Structure 1
Amino acid sequence: MKTFLCNRCAQLVFYENVRCERCESLLGYLPELREISAFDDAGDGRWRSLHPRANGALFRQCHNYAVENICNWMIPADSPDTLCRACQLTRTIPNLGEPENRLYWYRLEVAKRRLLYTLGELGLEVTSRDADPEHGLAFEFLADDSDGARVMTGHDNGLITLNIAEADDAHREKVRTSMGEPYRTLLGHFRHETGHYYFSQLIENEPRWLEPYRKLFGDERADYGEALNAYYRNGAPADWQASYISAYATMHPWEDWAETWAHYLLIVDVLDTASTYGLALLPGDPREPTLTDRTPVEDASFENLMQRWFPLTYALNSLNRSLGIADGYPFTLAAPVVGKLRFVHRVIAAAGDGKAREAAAPSGLASRDEPAADQPASSDPAVTPRRQFDGDKV
């Protein structure tokens, strides 16, 4: 995530901000420019962008910004849309009759917009289900039924479902502890589930990637239901860290891909933020990790990313321990995991829109590690019919 400034007073602002704390200008995100902009009120619900690249263009607030206080994206003033591109992807929102659900909805949309920013920076196309009913992406934010029926977070042919309980910090931490997971976040869920979506878009029907994928991750044609039952019955192999990024990745090749994909997005996101902020590690002791490389993530080779990642995570965990909180990066990357991450890097590079960081090998092995709209409906159970999805993370 890059740094953003208020165009009126040059105050540093965050991606989620809706108002400048210094000059009180309205702020909004312009997805066409991938920039936060300050705005002047132009009347009639229109706002004039002060961002120099917008050339004084007029915009309107997304309905979920102006009315629901959930969003901060802007829409061109002459657009017929009432929802921004991000909010159009959400097909079902939580039942707002439950007081806490508005907060959960807000947290879900914040995480989703961060995901969309990263996908955009990587040049990965995001098409809505309305624009492409067969291959588009959509989200549903659902709650467990009062009769005890549970909503499973998962992916089904481009439809990503998240249980809104994951937006409850206490609940999510309880599940994380009970599952023995070192890391569980809303953003992590979004990254993981889009991994399933992009497997179908980039790998499943691409011979140049499918066979190399199977060499690294295994044969995805293995029965998913049987693998799921076996995992929850027996758990992960004792030595899973030697070949997998997480215990859950051992369950099935699809899950190994999705977990690795999510981890790659995490690495790219954190490195992008660190380099944009000019973060450097200049220890007095030459034996300690050093980090001075600020190569933009979109221009970096995979080797460059890894060389910068390890010293950064050492510093991150050291800072967290000084604060008395858990490690921010509770993972180890064995050589086979690095090989899988390199494969994800090459697939994304090949799919990018010209911002690919390196030429992707069309086939074969590249190294010894690896081969080259309207407002959504409420999710009130009385209104929204329950759907069944393939099991994923509980």
Structure 2
Amino acid sequence: MIPSPTTPRAFSCACGRPVFFRNSQCLACGRPLGYDAARGLLIALEPAPGRSGKGGWRQAGVPPRRARRYVRCANLDTAAACNWLLEPDEAQAGKTLCRCCRLTRTVPDLTQPNADVWWNRIEQAKRRLVSSLIGLELPVRPKTEDERGIAFDLLLAPPEGPGVITGHADGVITLDASEADDARREERRGSLGEPYRTLLGHLRHETGHYYWQLLVEPSHWIESCRVLFGDERQDYGEALQRHYASGPPADWGLHFVSAYASAHPWEDWAETWAHYLHLADTLDTARSFGLDGERVELSYERFGADTVADAGDADAAGFLQLINSWMELTGVLNELSRSMGVADFYPFVLSRPAVRKLHLVHRIIHDKTSR
């Protein structure tokens, strides 16, 4: 039996036709669609007139007395093209943006060429990220409403500079919005010798730094992280300078999920966090459509209980099923990519030390006591 996805990705309109996470309208029947983040569902909508005359929306096909009332995000009609819904309490509090759009503190300078297109692409990636974080029951609160929350500044360098540096600082994630330009991003990927570079990958990586501060730094997990990832108190600036000057160690693949992860323990954590979100969301998507690595006709040497035996995790079997399903699924997806003549779907090889780090990320994400 295929496990149920944590964050579902397969949906149907009220007319019975399939619709997808990013859709705002059913192409078959024309019904408007909206994403209910609290329930992890994309639903068909119908008008729900209110006593005040302001109207609203409710789920199509549900008896009016049982249907909750929604407001569509105000960014539906902007370049962001958001298809998320506001909950009744959010609308009653005077909010006009959904919980995902409220995380964006600064939008790109829309007077610059292509800025509206790039903003749209970034918000598409951010909505997928945030829906996964909500599905994993991680705290996702706007910094404007909670000082321990998160904010995204999507910036474009002015024509005469200086450039924008993507990074994280105390809950604020800055993203160079020009990363949404496919040609520029591919050029940077090639110049840096990276096998993989995407908007979603950037966002997942930078949220890793945020959740380190929120879930690891003030918790009992800090010592466990120092054992596996190293002591993060070593000089960060010097470590990055050394990495860019000399490159990763020759044997980085035996210890890290990526070459950049070898630069500093913080980057090792953030890269591992991003890879965990890659596998969690991809497996959720596959399972939503009836696919799972356990059913793939491909024989791999599976990671056994000895890989994480010293972790003290009573539920290690659940993680091992997850990682082994991932390895088998990506093996097939890589072959499918090669059949199309494109780059591998997952161009990485996971070593046992890297899997142990992924296991620790898994445990911290599912530890409710560290929230």
Is this contact kept in 2: 1:290–1:311, CA < 8 A? Answer: no
Aligned to 1:60: 71
Is this contact kept in 2: 1:6–1:20, CA < 8 A? Answer: no
The amino acid of 1:241's aligned partner reads: G
Aligned to 2:124: 110
- State which of 65, 76, 83 in structure 1 corresponds to 2:87: 76
Q: How far is the alpha carbon of 1:4 from its aligned partner?
A: 3.6
Gapped regions of structure 2 (runs ≥ 5): 1-6, 303-314
Aligned to 1:169: 182
1:149-181 Cα offsets, whole Å, 9 max, x none, are: 111100000000100011111111111111000
1:75-110 Cα offsets, whole Å, 9 max, x none, are: 235522111111111000011112411111111111
The amino acid of 1:205's aligned partner reads: P
Higher relative contact order (Cα pairs below 8 Å, separated by 6+ residues): 1
Aligned to 1:148: 161
Residues 28 and 353 (structure 1), Cα distance of their counterparts in 2 relative to 1, 3 Å cut = farther
The amino acid of 2:138's aligned partner reads: L
Aligned to 2:104: 90
Q: How far is the alpha carbon of 1:289 from its aligned partner?
A: 5.8
The amino acid of 2:109's aligned partner reads: N
Paired residues for 1:325-336 under 5 Å: 325-336=342-353
1:26 equivalent to 2:39? Answer: no
SS in 1 for 2:239: helix
1:180 equivalent to 2:197? Answer: no
SS in 1 for 2:22: coil
Is this contact kept in 1: 2:11–2:41, CA < 8 A? Answer: no
Gapped regions of structure 1 (runs ≥ 5): 292-297, 355-394
Is this contact kept in 1: 2:292–2:325, CA < 8 A? Answer: no
CA distance in 2, matches of 1:353, 1:205: 8
Residues 10 and 258 (structure 1), Cα distance of their counterparts in 2 relative to 1, 3 Å cut = same
1:320-376 Cα offsets, whole Å, 9 max, x none, are: 11111110010000111011001101111113899xxxxxxxxxxxxxxxxxxxxxx
1:243 equivalent to 2:255? Answer: yes
Residues 265 and 148 (structure 1), Cα distance of their counterparts in 2 relative to 1, 3 Å cut = same
TM-score calculated relative to the size of structure 2:
0.87
Q: How far is the alpha carbon of 1:67 from its aligned partner?
A: 4.5
Question: What percentage of residue pairs aligned between the two structures are identical?
Answer: 46
CA distance in 2, matches of 1:34, 1:105: 23
Aligned to 1:204: 217
CA distance in 2, matches of 1:25, 1:6: 12
- State which of 46, 49, 62 in structure 1 corresponds to 2:56: 46
CA distance in 2, matches of 1:53, 1:127: 32
TM-score calculated relative to the size of structure 1:
0.82
Q: Aligned-pair RMSD on alpha carbons?
A: 2.5
Is this contact kept in 1: 2:10–2:289, CA < 8 A? Answer: no
1:257-299 Cα offsets, whole Å, 9 max, x none, are: 0000000110111111112211157999x774699xxxxxx99
Aligned to 2:341: 324
CA distance in 2, matches of 1:227, 1:260: 18
Is this contact kept in 2: 1:283–1:289, CA < 8 A? Answer: no
Aligned to 1:221: 233
Compare 216-225 and 274-283 and name the one that shifted more: 274-283
CA distance in 2, matches of 1:201, 1:51: 41
Compare 250-259 and 114-123 and name the one that shifted more: 114-123
Is this contact kept in 1: 2:45–2:58, CA < 8 A? Answer: yes
SS in 2 for 1:85: coil
SS in 2 for 1:246: coil
Is this contact kept in 1: 2:154–2:175, CA < 8 A? Answer: yes
Paired residues for 1:221-300 under 5 Å: 221-280=233-292, 288=299
CA distance in 1, matches of 2:68, 2:325: 39
Q: How many residues align?
A: 345
SS in 1 for 2:100: helix
The amino acid of 1:116's aligned partner reads: V
The amino acid of 2:83's aligned partner reads: N
Paired residues for 1:123-138 under 5 Å: 123-133=137-147, 135-138=148-151
Is this contact kept in 2: 1:26–1:38, CA < 8 A? Answer: yes
1:186-236 Cα offsets, whole Å, 9 max, x none, are: 111111000000000111111x21111111111100111111111111111
CA distance in 1, matches of 2:334, 2:280: 17
Is this contact kept in 2: 1:192–1:261, CA < 8 A? Answer: yes
SS in 2 for 1:60: strand
Aligned to 2:308: none
The amino acid of 1:311's aligned partner reads: E
Is this contact kept in 2: 1:30–1:37, CA < 8 A? Answer: yes
The amino acid of 1:232's aligned partner reads: Y
Compare 123-132 and 73-82 and name the one that shifted more: 73-82
CA distance in 1, matches of 2:369, 2:279: 17
Is this contact kept in 1: 2:12–2:19, CA < 8 A? Answer: yes
